[in-house]
Homo-oligomer: A and B are copies of this chain.
Amino acid sequence: MAHNTHVAADTNAPPVTSILAKFVSGHVSKGWTQAVEHEAHRTFYNWLGCAIGAARHEAADAALAAVAMFEPAQQATVLGRSERVDMASAALVNGITSHTFDFDDTHLKTIIHPAGPVASAVLALAEKTGASGRDVIDALVLGIDVACRIGNTMYPDHYDRGWHITGSTGMLGAAAGCARLLKMNEQQTQMALGIAASQPVGFREQFGTMTKPFHPGGAARAGLTSALLAKHGFTASPRALEAPRGFVQVVSDKRAWNEVTDELGERFEISFNTYKPFACGIVIHPSIDACAQLREQGVKPEQVERIELRVHSLVLELTGKKEPKDGLQGKFSVYHGCAVGLIYGHAGEEEFSDAVVTDPKVVALRNKVVATVDDTIAEAAVDATAVLTDGRRVHVRVDHAIGSLERPLSDVQLEGKFNALVVPVLGEAKAREITAACWKLAALPNVRDLTALCRP
Protein backbone atom coordinates (compact mmCIF):
# COMPACT_ATOMS: atom_id res chain seq x y z
CA MET A 1 0.00 0.00 0.00
CA ALA A 2 2.97 2.39 0.14
CA HIS A 3 3.79 2.55 -3.53
CA ASN A 4 5.56 5.40 -5.21
CA THR A 5 4.27 7.14 -8.30
CA HIS A 6 5.53 5.67 -11.53
CA VAL A 7 7.20 8.60 -13.25
CA ALA A 8 8.76 11.60 -11.59
CA ALA A 9 5.93 13.46 -9.92
CA ASP A 10 5.69 17.18 -10.52
CA THR A 11 4.91 18.49 -7.07
CA ASN A 12 5.14 22.12 -8.16
CA ALA A 13 2.28 22.16 -10.64
CA PRO A 14 0.26 25.37 -10.61
CA PRO A 15 -3.37 25.00 -9.46
CA VAL A 16 -4.76 24.63 -12.97
CA THR A 17 -8.06 23.07 -11.84
CA SER A 18 -8.72 26.15 -9.77
CA ILE A 19 -7.45 28.52 -12.47
CA LEU A 20 -9.70 27.01 -15.13
CA ALA A 21 -12.71 26.97 -12.79
CA LYS A 22 -12.26 30.64 -12.05
CA PHE A 23 -11.90 31.41 -15.75
CA VAL A 24 -14.93 29.39 -16.87
CA SER A 25 -17.22 30.70 -14.16
CA GLY A 26 -16.00 34.26 -14.23
CA HIS A 27 -15.16 35.23 -17.79
CA VAL A 28 -17.54 37.85 -19.14
CA SER A 29 -20.14 36.80 -21.70
CA LYS A 30 -18.85 37.36 -25.25
CA GLY A 31 -15.54 38.44 -23.74
CA TRP A 32 -13.61 38.00 -27.01
CA THR A 33 -13.18 39.45 -30.46
CA GLN A 34 -15.76 39.29 -33.21
CA ALA A 35 -13.48 36.85 -35.02
CA VAL A 36 -13.68 34.42 -32.11
CA GLU A 37 -17.43 34.94 -31.89
CA HIS A 38 -17.79 34.13 -35.58
CA GLU A 39 -15.54 31.07 -35.33
CA ALA A 40 -17.75 29.76 -32.55
CA HIS A 41 -20.75 29.99 -34.86
CA ARG A 42 -18.83 28.19 -37.60
CA THR A 43 -17.74 25.47 -35.17
CA PHE A 44 -21.29 24.93 -33.98
CA TYR A 45 -22.75 24.93 -37.50
CA ASN A 46 -20.18 22.46 -38.83
CA TRP A 47 -20.71 20.16 -35.84
CA LEU A 48 -24.48 20.24 -36.28
CA GLY A 49 -24.23 19.31 -39.96
CA CYS A 50 -21.97 16.35 -39.18
CA ALA A 51 -24.30 15.07 -36.47
CA ILE A 52 -27.44 15.38 -38.58
CA GLY A 53 -25.66 13.87 -41.58
CA ALA A 54 -24.85 10.64 -39.74
CA ALA A 55 -28.22 10.39 -38.00
CA ARG A 56 -29.22 7.29 -39.94
CA HIS A 57 -25.86 5.52 -39.70
CA GLU A 58 -25.93 2.05 -38.17
CA ALA A 59 -23.83 3.32 -35.25
CA ALA A 60 -26.64 5.73 -34.40
CA ASP A 61 -29.19 2.94 -34.70
CA ALA A 62 -27.21 0.70 -32.38
CA ALA A 63 -26.59 3.43 -29.81
CA LEU A 64 -30.24 4.47 -29.78
CA ALA A 65 -31.41 0.88 -29.43
CA ALA A 66 -29.19 0.54 -26.35
CA VAL A 67 -30.37 3.86 -24.92
CA ALA A 68 -33.99 2.81 -25.47
CA MET A 69 -33.42 0.05 -22.90
CA PHE A 70 -33.30 2.81 -20.27
CA GLU A 71 -36.79 4.04 -21.29
CA PRO A 72 -35.45 7.60 -21.32
CA ALA A 73 -37.52 10.73 -20.71
CA GLN A 74 -38.00 12.88 -23.81
CA GLN A 75 -35.77 15.74 -22.76
CA ALA A 76 -33.53 16.43 -25.74
CA THR A 77 -33.36 15.92 -29.47
CA VAL A 78 -31.40 13.22 -31.23
CA LEU A 79 -30.23 15.43 -34.08
CA GLY A 80 -31.69 14.43 -37.42
CA ARG A 81 -34.08 11.88 -35.93
CA SER A 82 -37.54 11.88 -34.47
CA GLU A 83 -36.55 10.25 -31.16
CA ARG A 84 -36.07 12.40 -28.08
CA VAL A 85 -34.17 11.00 -25.10
CA ASP A 86 -32.85 12.14 -21.75
CA MET A 87 -30.21 14.84 -22.04
CA ALA A 88 -27.29 12.60 -21.02
CA SER A 89 -28.21 10.07 -23.69
CA ALA A 90 -28.72 12.85 -26.25
CA ALA A 91 -25.22 14.09 -25.46
CA LEU A 92 -23.93 10.55 -25.98
CA VAL A 93 -25.70 9.86 -29.27
CA ASN A 94 -25.11 13.29 -30.81
CA GLY A 95 -21.47 13.03 -29.84
CA ILE A 96 -21.32 9.69 -31.62
CA THR A 97 -22.99 10.86 -34.82
CA SER A 98 -20.95 14.08 -35.00
CA HIS A 99 -17.76 12.00 -35.28
CA THR A 100 -19.10 9.02 -37.25
CA PHE A 101 -18.09 10.34 -40.68
CA ASP A 102 -14.71 11.64 -39.41
CA PHE A 103 -15.89 14.87 -40.97
CA ASP A 104 -16.00 17.12 -37.89
CA ASP A 105 -13.79 19.98 -36.77
CA THR A 106 -10.08 19.66 -35.95
CA HIS A 107 -7.95 21.69 -33.55
CA LEU A 108 -4.79 21.05 -35.54
CA LYS A 109 -2.35 21.74 -32.68
CA THR A 110 -3.63 18.67 -30.82
CA ILE A 111 -5.76 16.73 -33.37
CA ILE A 112 -8.64 17.19 -30.93
CA HIS A 113 -12.11 17.30 -32.48
CA PRO A 114 -13.42 19.67 -29.82
CA ALA A 115 -17.03 20.31 -30.80
CA GLY A 116 -18.02 16.64 -30.50
CA PRO A 117 -17.78 16.40 -26.71
CA VAL A 118 -18.46 20.05 -25.90
CA ALA A 119 -21.32 21.02 -28.23
CA SER A 120 -23.07 17.66 -27.78
CA ALA A 121 -23.19 18.12 -24.01
CA VAL A 122 -23.98 21.82 -24.06
CA LEU A 123 -26.81 21.67 -26.61
CA ALA A 124 -28.54 18.73 -24.90
CA LEU A 125 -28.43 20.53 -21.56
CA ALA A 126 -29.45 23.84 -23.14
CA GLU A 127 -32.46 22.25 -24.79
CA LYS A 128 -33.54 20.77 -21.47
CA THR A 129 -33.18 24.06 -19.61
CA GLY A 130 -34.41 26.25 -22.47
CA ALA A 131 -31.19 28.26 -22.51
CA SER A 132 -30.44 31.07 -24.93
CA GLY A 133 -28.15 30.87 -27.93
CA ARG A 134 -25.91 33.44 -26.25
CA ASP A 135 -25.37 31.12 -23.31
CA VAL A 136 -24.66 28.22 -25.66
CA ILE A 137 -22.00 30.15 -27.58
CA ASP A 138 -20.36 31.26 -24.33
CA ALA A 139 -20.34 27.68 -23.04
CA LEU A 140 -18.94 26.40 -26.33
CA VAL A 141 -16.05 28.88 -26.48
CA LEU A 142 -15.07 28.33 -22.84
CA GLY A 143 -15.55 24.57 -22.91
CA ILE A 144 -13.44 24.18 -26.03
CA ASP A 145 -10.80 26.40 -24.46
CA VAL A 146 -10.55 24.08 -21.47
CA ALA A 147 -10.36 20.88 -23.53
CA CYS A 148 -7.80 22.23 -25.98
CA ARG A 149 -5.63 23.92 -23.36
CA ILE A 150 -5.39 20.65 -21.42
CA GLY A 151 -4.71 19.01 -24.79
CA ASN A 152 -1.89 21.49 -25.47
CA THR A 153 -0.50 20.70 -22.01
CA MET A 154 -0.16 16.99 -22.83
CA TYR A 155 0.20 16.77 -26.63
CA PRO A 156 1.92 14.92 -28.23
CA ASP A 157 3.03 12.60 -25.42
CA HIS A 158 -0.48 11.78 -24.30
CA TYR A 159 -1.60 11.01 -27.86
CA ASP A 160 1.56 9.01 -28.58
CA ARG A 161 0.82 6.72 -25.63
CA GLY A 162 -2.37 5.67 -27.38
CA TRP A 163 -5.05 7.91 -25.96
CA HIS A 164 -7.71 9.22 -28.36
CA ILE A 165 -7.24 12.77 -27.19
CA THR A 166 -10.69 13.95 -28.30
CA GLY A 167 -12.38 11.75 -25.72
CA SER A 168 -9.66 12.00 -23.09
CA THR A 169 -9.80 15.79 -22.86
CA GLY A 170 -13.36 16.27 -24.08
CA MET A 171 -14.98 15.34 -20.78
CA LEU A 172 -13.27 18.38 -19.26
CA GLY A 173 -14.52 20.66 -22.02
CA ALA A 174 -18.02 19.26 -21.71
CA ALA A 175 -18.01 19.67 -17.92
CA ALA A 176 -16.74 23.24 -18.25
CA GLY A 177 -19.32 24.12 -20.88
CA CYS A 178 -22.19 22.62 -18.88
CA ALA A 179 -21.02 24.26 -15.65
CA ARG A 180 -20.96 27.58 -17.46
CA LEU A 181 -24.41 27.01 -18.93
CA LEU A 182 -25.75 26.23 -15.47
CA LYS A 183 -24.11 29.42 -14.17
CA MET A 184 -22.27 27.42 -11.55
CA ASN A 185 -19.90 29.33 -9.29
CA GLU A 186 -16.14 28.89 -9.17
CA GLN A 187 -16.16 26.28 -6.43
CA GLN A 188 -18.88 24.18 -8.09
CA THR A 189 -17.12 24.47 -11.46
CA GLN A 190 -13.91 23.26 -9.87
CA MET A 191 -15.75 20.21 -8.54
CA ALA A 192 -17.31 19.59 -11.97
CA LEU A 193 -13.86 19.61 -13.58
CA GLY A 194 -12.61 17.36 -10.79
CA ILE A 195 -15.34 14.75 -11.23
CA ALA A 196 -14.87 14.82 -15.01
CA ALA A 197 -11.10 14.39 -14.59
CA SER A 198 -11.72 10.81 -13.40
CA GLN A 199 -13.49 9.89 -16.66
CA PRO A 200 -11.23 10.10 -19.73
CA VAL A 201 -12.64 8.10 -22.65
CA GLY A 202 -10.84 6.34 -25.41
CA PHE A 203 -7.85 4.60 -26.92
CA ARG A 204 -6.56 4.75 -30.49
CA GLU A 205 -6.81 0.98 -30.90
CA GLN A 206 -10.53 1.62 -31.42
CA PHE A 207 -9.94 3.53 -34.67
CA GLY A 208 -11.90 1.89 -37.45
CA THR A 209 -14.74 0.76 -35.16
CA MET A 210 -17.88 2.42 -33.79
CA THR A 211 -16.14 2.92 -30.48
CA LYS A 212 -14.03 5.67 -32.07
CA PRO A 213 -17.05 7.99 -32.40
CA PHE A 214 -18.27 6.66 -29.05
CA HIS A 215 -15.33 8.52 -27.49
CA PRO A 216 -16.61 12.09 -28.00
CA GLY A 217 -20.11 10.86 -27.14
CA GLY A 218 -18.97 9.22 -23.93
CA ALA A 219 -16.95 12.31 -23.05
CA ALA A 220 -19.98 14.53 -23.63
CA ARG A 221 -22.12 12.39 -21.35
CA ALA A 222 -19.40 12.25 -18.69
CA GLY A 223 -18.94 16.02 -18.70
CA LEU A 224 -22.65 16.75 -18.52
CA THR A 225 -23.13 14.28 -15.67
CA SER A 226 -20.13 15.70 -13.81
CA ALA A 227 -21.57 19.21 -13.94
CA LEU A 228 -24.93 18.03 -12.62
CA LEU A 229 -23.26 16.07 -9.82
CA ALA A 230 -21.20 19.08 -8.78
CA LYS A 231 -24.25 21.32 -8.89
CA HIS A 232 -25.91 19.04 -6.36
CA GLY A 233 -22.97 19.00 -3.96
CA PHE A 234 -20.89 16.04 -5.12
CA THR A 235 -17.23 16.60 -4.31
CA ALA A 236 -13.90 15.87 -6.00
CA SER A 237 -10.28 16.75 -5.44
CA PRO A 238 -9.71 20.48 -6.00
CA ARG A 239 -6.41 19.45 -7.63
CA ALA A 240 -7.83 16.62 -9.72
CA LEU A 241 -6.04 17.76 -12.88
CA GLU A 242 -2.59 18.71 -11.64
CA ALA A 243 -1.84 16.63 -8.52
CA PRO A 244 0.85 13.93 -8.80
CA ARG A 245 -1.87 11.24 -8.84
CA GLY A 246 -4.32 13.42 -10.73
CA PHE A 247 -5.42 13.13 -14.34
CA VAL A 248 -2.70 14.96 -16.28
CA GLN A 249 0.32 13.51 -14.49
CA VAL A 250 -1.02 9.95 -14.69
CA VAL A 251 -1.83 10.01 -18.40
CA SER A 252 1.02 12.15 -19.75
CA ASP A 253 4.71 12.70 -19.17
CA LYS A 254 4.43 16.05 -20.92
CA ARG A 255 2.89 18.58 -18.53
CA ALA A 256 3.33 22.01 -20.08
CA TRP A 257 1.23 23.81 -17.48
CA ASN A 258 1.90 27.16 -19.16
CA GLU A 259 -0.43 26.01 -21.94
CA VAL A 260 -3.27 26.38 -19.46
CA THR A 261 -2.30 29.83 -18.28
CA ASP A 262 -0.64 31.59 -21.25
CA GLU A 263 -2.93 34.38 -22.51
CA LEU A 264 -5.88 32.78 -20.73
CA GLY A 265 -8.95 34.87 -21.54
CA GLU A 266 -7.12 36.63 -24.39
CA ARG A 267 -6.21 33.86 -26.82
CA PHE A 268 -9.04 31.40 -27.48
CA GLU A 269 -8.25 27.95 -28.82
CA ILE A 270 -11.44 27.90 -30.89
CA SER A 271 -9.62 30.37 -33.15
CA PHE A 272 -7.44 27.49 -34.30
CA ASN A 273 -10.32 25.22 -35.18
CA THR A 274 -10.63 23.96 -38.77
CA TYR A 275 -13.34 22.20 -40.78
CA LYS A 276 -12.78 19.41 -43.22
CA PRO A 277 -14.08 20.02 -46.74
CA PHE A 278 -13.65 16.35 -47.61
CA ALA A 279 -15.01 13.30 -45.77
CA CYS A 280 -11.72 11.49 -45.36
CA GLY A 281 -8.36 11.63 -43.60
CA ILE A 282 -6.70 15.02 -43.84
CA VAL A 283 -3.62 13.66 -45.60
CA ILE A 284 -5.51 13.23 -48.91
CA HIS A 285 -7.06 16.69 -48.81
CA PRO A 286 -4.35 18.49 -50.85
CA SER A 287 -4.66 15.92 -53.66
CA ILE A 288 -8.45 16.20 -53.82
CA ASP A 289 -8.16 19.96 -53.73
CA ALA A 290 -5.61 19.93 -56.58
CA CYS A 291 -7.84 17.76 -58.77
CA ALA A 292 -10.85 19.94 -58.05
CA GLN A 293 -8.72 22.90 -59.16
CA LEU A 294 -7.81 21.05 -62.37
CA ARG A 295 -11.54 20.61 -62.94
CA GLU A 296 -12.07 24.32 -62.42
CA GLN A 297 -9.42 24.98 -65.03
CA GLY A 298 -11.50 23.03 -67.55
CA VAL A 299 -9.90 19.61 -67.38
CA LYS A 300 -12.53 16.94 -68.09
CA PRO A 301 -12.19 13.24 -67.16
CA GLU A 302 -12.53 12.05 -70.75
CA GLN A 303 -9.58 14.23 -71.82
CA VAL A 304 -7.23 12.75 -69.24
CA GLU A 305 -4.40 10.48 -70.34
CA ARG A 306 -2.71 10.49 -66.93
CA ILE A 307 -2.65 12.41 -63.66
CA GLU A 308 0.81 12.76 -62.18
CA LEU A 309 0.96 13.37 -58.44
CA ARG A 310 4.04 14.15 -56.42
CA VAL A 311 3.41 13.67 -52.71
CA HIS A 312 5.18 13.27 -49.37
CA SER A 313 5.86 9.64 -48.49
CA LEU A 314 3.34 9.77 -45.63
CA VAL A 315 0.51 10.20 -48.12
CA LEU A 316 1.14 6.84 -49.75
CA GLU A 317 1.98 5.22 -46.45
CA LEU A 318 -1.45 6.09 -45.04
CA THR A 319 -3.63 6.30 -48.15
CA GLY A 320 -1.85 4.34 -50.87
CA LYS A 321 -4.67 1.88 -51.59
CA LYS A 322 -4.69 1.48 -55.39
CA GLU A 323 -7.85 -0.57 -55.79
CA PRO A 324 -10.35 0.26 -53.05
CA LYS A 325 -13.30 -2.14 -52.99
CA ASP A 326 -15.82 -0.15 -50.97
CA GLY A 327 -16.55 3.22 -49.43
CA LEU A 328 -14.43 2.73 -46.34
CA GLN A 329 -11.42 1.61 -48.40
CA GLY A 330 -12.00 4.61 -50.63
CA LYS A 331 -11.19 6.85 -47.67
CA PHE A 332 -7.71 5.34 -47.64
CA SER A 333 -7.03 5.82 -51.36
CA VAL A 334 -5.44 8.99 -52.64
CA TYR A 335 -6.21 7.60 -56.14
CA HIS A 336 -9.92 7.54 -55.42
CA GLY A 337 -9.72 11.02 -53.87
CA CYS A 338 -8.16 12.41 -57.05
CA ALA A 339 -10.79 10.77 -59.27
CA VAL A 340 -13.77 12.17 -57.39
CA GLY A 341 -12.07 15.55 -57.06
CA LEU A 342 -11.75 15.78 -60.83
CA ILE A 343 -15.17 14.29 -61.65
CA TYR A 344 -17.33 15.98 -58.99
CA GLY A 345 -15.23 18.87 -57.68
CA HIS A 346 -16.01 17.77 -54.13
CA ALA A 347 -15.66 14.73 -51.87
CA GLY A 348 -18.36 14.49 -49.27
CA GLU A 349 -19.67 11.34 -47.61
CA GLU A 350 -21.58 10.52 -50.80
CA GLU A 351 -18.37 10.38 -52.84
CA PHE A 352 -17.06 7.73 -50.44
CA SER A 353 -20.13 5.51 -50.81
CA ASP A 354 -19.76 1.96 -52.12
CA ALA A 355 -21.65 2.97 -55.26
CA VAL A 356 -19.23 5.74 -56.18
CA VAL A 357 -16.11 3.77 -55.25
CA THR A 358 -17.18 0.95 -57.61
CA ASP A 359 -18.56 3.22 -60.37
CA PRO A 360 -16.73 2.20 -63.62
CA LYS A 361 -16.22 5.83 -64.59
CA VAL A 362 -14.52 6.53 -61.24
CA VAL A 363 -12.49 3.34 -61.42
CA ALA A 364 -11.27 4.18 -64.92
CA LEU A 365 -10.06 7.63 -63.90
CA ARG A 366 -8.55 6.30 -60.68
CA ASN A 367 -6.39 3.92 -62.72
CA LYS A 368 -4.92 6.89 -64.58
CA VAL A 369 -3.52 8.45 -61.39
CA VAL A 370 0.23 7.91 -60.94
CA ALA A 371 1.59 8.95 -57.57
CA THR A 372 5.30 9.30 -56.88
CA VAL A 373 7.00 10.07 -53.59
CA ASP A 374 8.92 13.33 -53.23
CA ASP A 375 9.85 14.19 -49.68
CA THR A 376 10.84 17.71 -50.67
CA ILE A 377 7.10 18.28 -50.80
CA ALA A 378 5.51 18.99 -47.42
CA GLU A 379 2.97 16.63 -45.88
CA ALA A 380 0.28 19.27 -46.30
CA ALA A 381 1.15 19.98 -49.97
CA VAL A 382 0.90 18.30 -53.38
CA ASP A 383 2.10 18.85 -56.93
CA ALA A 384 -0.36 17.62 -59.60
CA THR A 385 -0.20 17.60 -63.38
CA ALA A 386 -2.96 16.45 -65.72
CA VAL A 387 -1.49 15.05 -68.94
CA LEU A 388 -4.25 15.24 -71.57
CA THR A 389 -4.83 13.01 -74.58
CA ASP A 390 -3.92 15.92 -76.90
CA GLY A 391 -0.55 16.19 -75.19
CA ARG A 392 -1.30 19.31 -73.15
CA ARG A 393 -0.15 19.45 -69.52
CA VAL A 394 -2.12 21.33 -66.87
CA HIS A 395 -0.23 21.92 -63.63
CA VAL A 396 -1.49 22.73 -60.11
CA ARG A 397 0.50 23.21 -56.95
CA VAL A 398 -1.29 23.15 -53.58
CA ASP A 399 0.72 24.26 -50.55
CA HIS A 400 -2.19 24.39 -48.12
CA ALA A 401 -5.37 22.53 -48.91
CA ILE A 402 -8.74 24.11 -48.63
CA GLY A 403 -9.91 23.65 -45.02
CA SER A 404 -6.48 24.31 -43.51
CA LEU A 405 -5.86 27.14 -41.09
CA GLU A 406 -4.15 29.04 -43.94
CA ARG A 407 -7.05 28.51 -46.38
CA PRO A 408 -10.14 28.09 -44.26
CA LEU A 409 -13.47 27.13 -45.75
CA SER A 410 -15.52 30.23 -46.42
CA ASP A 411 -18.94 30.50 -44.81
CA VAL A 412 -20.47 29.73 -48.22
CA GLN A 413 -18.34 26.61 -48.54
CA LEU A 414 -19.36 25.55 -45.03
CA GLU A 415 -22.97 25.93 -46.12
CA GLY A 416 -22.29 23.71 -49.12
CA LYS A 417 -20.83 21.06 -46.83
CA PHE A 418 -23.74 21.42 -44.42
CA ASN A 419 -26.33 21.06 -47.16
CA ALA A 420 -24.67 17.97 -48.60
CA LEU A 421 -24.93 16.39 -45.14
CA VAL A 422 -28.31 17.66 -44.02
CA VAL A 423 -30.55 17.89 -47.10
CA PRO A 424 -30.67 14.10 -47.58
CA VAL A 425 -31.79 13.72 -43.96
CA LEU A 426 -34.09 16.68 -43.31
CA GLY A 427 -34.78 18.18 -46.75
CA GLU A 428 -33.91 21.55 -48.25
CA ALA A 429 -36.36 23.71 -46.39
CA LYS A 430 -35.21 22.62 -42.95
CA ALA A 431 -31.56 22.80 -43.97
CA ARG A 432 -32.14 26.42 -44.98
CA GLU A 433 -33.96 27.28 -41.76
CA ILE A 434 -31.31 25.63 -39.59
CA THR A 435 -28.58 27.47 -41.45
CA ALA A 436 -30.30 30.79 -40.82
CA ALA A 437 -30.80 29.95 -37.14
CA CYS A 438 -27.16 28.90 -36.72
CA TRP A 439 -25.66 32.06 -38.17
CA LYS A 440 -27.68 34.12 -35.68
CA LEU A 441 -27.40 31.61 -32.86
CA ALA A 442 -26.11 34.12 -30.32
CA ALA A 443 -29.31 36.13 -30.76
CA LEU A 444 -31.66 33.15 -30.38
CA PRO A 445 -33.73 33.56 -27.19
CA ASN A 446 -34.27 29.79 -26.77
CA VAL A 447 -32.30 27.03 -28.44
CA ARG A 448 -35.40 24.85 -28.51
CA ASP A 449 -36.39 26.89 -31.56
CA LEU A 450 -33.29 25.46 -33.23
CA THR A 451 -33.50 21.88 -32.00
CA ALA A 452 -37.13 21.66 -33.11
CA LEU A 453 -35.88 22.19 -36.67
CA CYS A 454 -33.43 19.31 -36.34
CA ARG A 455 -36.09 16.60 -36.29
CA PRO A 456 -37.60 15.17 -39.48
Interface residues of A (CB under 8 A from B): 1-7, 58-59, 61-63, 65-66, 69-73, 75, 86-88, 111, 128, 156-157, 159-164, 167, 194-195, 197-206, 208-211, 214-215, 218, 225, 228-229, 231-237, 239-240, 243-247, 249-250, 253, 282-283, 314, 317-318, 379
> For A197, what are the chain B residues with a Cβ–Cβ distance below 8 Å?
203
How far is the CB of A249 from the nearest CB of chain B, in Å? 7
CB-defined contacts of A71 to chain B, threshold 8 Å: 73, 75, 86
10 contacts between A and B (CB under 8 A): A5-B160, A62-B234, A63-B229, A161-B250, A167-B198, A198-B218, A199-B218, A204-B245, A205-B239, A211-B236
Kindly list chain B residues whose C-beta atoms are within 8 Å of the C-beta of A161: 5-7, 250
Contact between chains at B69 and A72 (CB < 8 Å): no
Other A-B pairs beyond A5-B161, A70-B87, A162-B244, 20, CB < 8 Å: A1-B111, A2-B314, A59-B234, A62-B234, A66-B225, A70-B72, A71-B75, A71-B86, A163-B250, A167-B198, A198-B201, A199-B201, A203-B240, A205-B240, A205-B244, A205-B245, A209-B236, A209-B237, A211-B240, A214-B229
Copies in the complex: 2
| A3 and B247 within 8 A (CB) | no
Cα A282 to Cα B1 with chains together (Å): 10
The answer to whether A240 and B206 touch (CB under 8 A), given A62-B233, A163-B250, is yes
Give the residues in chain B near A61, CB-CB below 8 Å. 232-233
From B157, B210, B282, A234 is in contact (CB under 8 Å) with: B210
For A197, give the chain B residue with the smallest CB separation: B203
CB pair A205 B4 closer than 8 Å: no
How many Å from the CB of A6 to the closest CB on chain B? Answer: 4
Look across to chain B and name the residue whose beta carbon is closest to the beta carbon of A250.
B162
- Verify B58–A70 contact, CB threshold 8 A: no
A231 and B69 alpha carbons, distance in the complex (Å): 11
In-complex Cβ contact of A198 among B156, B211, B231, B282 (8 A): B211
Residues in B neighbouring A59, C-beta threshold 8 A: 234
Min C-beta distance of A182 to chain B, whole Å: 10
- A1: which of B58, B70, B128, B314 is its contact (CB, 8 Å)? B314
Q: Is the CB of A4 within 8 A of B160?
A: yes
Verify B75–A245 contact, CB threshold 8 A. Answer: no
The answer to whether A58 touches B233 (Cβ under 8 A) is yes
| Min CB–CB distance A168 → chain B (angstroms) | 10
Q: What chain B residues lie within 8 Å of A228 (beta carbons)? A: 66, 69
Given contacts A199-B218, A237-B205, contact A66 B211 (CB under 8 A): no
A379 contacts across to B, CB distance below 8 A = 1
**Cβ contact within 8 Å between B211 and A237:** yes
Report yes or no: A203 in contact with B250, Cβ–Cβ below 8 A: yes
CB closest chain-B residue, reference A206? B237
Q: Is the CB of B210 within 8 A of A159?
A: no
In the bound complex, CA of A101 to CA of B222 (Å): 24
Min Cβ gap A86→B in Å is 4
Residue in contact with A203 in the complex, picked from B7, B69, B70, B198, CB distance below 8 Å: B198
Q: A86-B72, A234-B59, A234-B63 known; A203 and B163 CB under 8 Å?
A: no
* Least Cβ–Cβ distance between A41 and chain B, in angstroms: 28
Instruction: Evaluate whether A203 and B245 lie within 8 angstroms (CB atoms) in the complex, with A1-B314, A214-B195 already known.
Output: yes
B237 engages A208 (CB within 8 Å): yes
Distance in angstroms between the alpha carbons of A233 and B59 in the assembled complex: 8
In the complex the two chains form, is A206's CB within 8 Å of B214's CB?
no
| In contact, A232 and B198 (Cβ under 8 angstroms) | no
Which residues of chain B are near A199, meaning CB under 8 Å? Answer: 199, 201, 218
Q: Which residues of B contact A206 (CB under 8 A)?
A: 194, 198, 236-237, 240
Question: What is the bound-complex CA distance between A45 and B326, given in angstroms?
Answer: 53
